[in-house]
Structure 1
Amino acid sequence: MRFCKTTLQGNARLHVALSIGAVFGVLAASHASAADAPARKPGLWEVKTAIGDHGRAVTAQQCIDASTDQMLQSSAGPFSLPACTSREAKTSDSGMTIDSKCKFNGKPASAHADITGSFDSAYTMTVTAEGSDLPATKMTMEGKWLGACAAGQQPGDVIMAGGVKVNIPELQKRAPAPDAATQPGK
């Protein structure tokens, strides 16, 4: 019985870690900069993220305003702005593509994102990332605007499956200052 409980606790922690990583990793890998990336409509968004062509999608809800949306887009994950030497964003009638050249564990990596839909109601984003220390990975994220944030929610709240809620600006305030030696790309 102890093995089962330990395994279940480990699986729950892994699910939470994957949920947070998928949400922020995809946002960071897919956006060029706050100026290039379209801002999402403020309010409550449901975001479903699938990694690869197998497995179940991870669903999270994000309560955002203009500043927390910009923060989430520009500062999270291994493909954050400081880790990337170049980003090229192109818009077309059908959407947007963003190509990034980055460093992951000090080695070259790249990400290509295709975005379709509207950042006012619903969008789909497909990100393909690869590098010498990173296996080729494909992530698909579907975002859907649900309306105003619910009572008791504040901008920056992320609610994952199972009801786990974190506030990203508060987490950033509590995080220790990054050491240049531990940052991706350094």
Structure 2
Amino acid sequence: MRRLLLVSCSAIGLLAVLPASGAIAVELPMRKAGLWEMKVLSGGTVPEMTMQQCTDETTDKDMSTAMAPMAKEICSKQDIQKTASGYVTDSVCGIGGITVKSRAEIIGDFNSAYTVKTSSKSEGGLAGAARDSNSTIEAKWVGACKADQKPGDIIMPGGMKMNVKDMEKMKALIPKK
């Protein structure tokens, strides 16, 4: 459960700074439309996870717009800076009594591939002890979306399909303060 909250907070922190966020001066480039394969490497005892996402410009903008209000509710800090090699994001988010401080380094061209290396530190929760975590997302464009896919579809390991356009439903999962 703690791992899920850590990953969720880290993801929300990162998604909150995706291209369409007008409140942030620096914006990430839009991903090329089509099918992206994303390999998530977390190290430790968590196995590698590979998923695919069908996307287009509208979906990426919509995802950022949908996540921004949720991130504003749970994140006290969301910064993004352009660097010589890409981008760096810093966020502090809290949910369920856990505070997660994350820093992500993003490199790549968003047309063929990009990599996101995230280091996070969580504090609080049931055990109350601080915990460090590192993860890497290696994303590569694999071509056009498949015939049975629509923009926003994410194919999880095992074949489970979900659509990011259903993010509004996730808001109900956030504990109220």
Name the TM-score class by shorter chain: 0.7 to 0.9
User: CA offset at residue 90 of structure 1?
Assistant: 1.0
User: CA offset at residue 41 of structure 1?
Assistant: 1.2
Match of 1:109 in 2: 100
Alignment of 1:53-92 (within 5 A): 53=44, 55-73=46-64, 75=66, 80-92=71-83
- Of residues 158, 161, 167, the one that matches 1:162 is 158
User: Given residue 161 of structure 1, which amino acid in structure 2 is its aligned partner?
Assistant: P
TM-score norm. by structure 2 comes to 0.74
Q: Which runs of 5+ in 1 are unaligned?
A: 1-13
Q: Distance in 2 between matches of 1:115 and 1:176?
A: 25
Q: Distance in 2 between matches of 1:49 and 1:146?
A: 16
Q: Distance in 2 between matches of 1:90 and 1:158?
A: 28
Note the alpha carbon deviations across 1:5-31, whole angstroms, 9 max, x for none.
Answer: xxxxxxxxx9xxx7xx96x76543324
User: Given residue 84 of structure 1, which amino acid in structure 2 is its aligned partner?
Assistant: C
- Mark the CA change 1:176 to 1:146 in structure 2 (over 3 Å): closer, same or farther: closer
User: CA offset at residue 146 of structure 1?
Assistant: 0.9
- Mark the CA change 1:74 to 1:124 in structure 2 (over 3 Å): closer, same or farther: farther
Note the alpha carbon deviations across 1:49-87, whole angstroms, 9 max, x for none.
Answer: 0113555310000001123223444655xx834311222
User: CA offset at residue 108 of structure 1?
Assistant: 3.7
Residues 34 and 55 in structure 2, CA contact (< 8 A), matched pair in contact too:
yes
- Mark the CA change 1:90 to 1:49 in structure 2 (over 3 Å): closer, same or farther: same
User: Given residue 122 of structure 1, which amino acid in structure 2 is its aligned partner?
Assistant: A
Residues 116 and 138 in structure 2, CA contact (< 8 A), matched pair in contact too:
yes
Note the alpha carbon deviations across 1:120-143, whole angstroms, 9 max, x for none.
Answer: 110110111112127221111000
Match of 1:38 in 2: 29
Alignment of 1:102-181 (within 5 A): 102-133=93-124, 135-169=131-165, 171-172=166-167, 175=169, 178=172
Q: Which runs of 5+ in 2 are unaligned?
A: 22-26, 126-130
- Mark the CA change 1:102 to 1:162 in structure 2 (over 3 Å): closer, same or farther: closer
- Bigger Rg over Cα: 1
> Which structure has more helix as a fraction of its residues?
1
Q: Distance in 1 between matches of 2:142 and 2:135?
A: 22
TM-score norm. by structure 1 comes to 0.71
User: SS of 2:172's equivalent?
Assistant: coil
Coordinate RMSD, CA, aligned: 3.0
Query: How many residues matched?
Result: 160
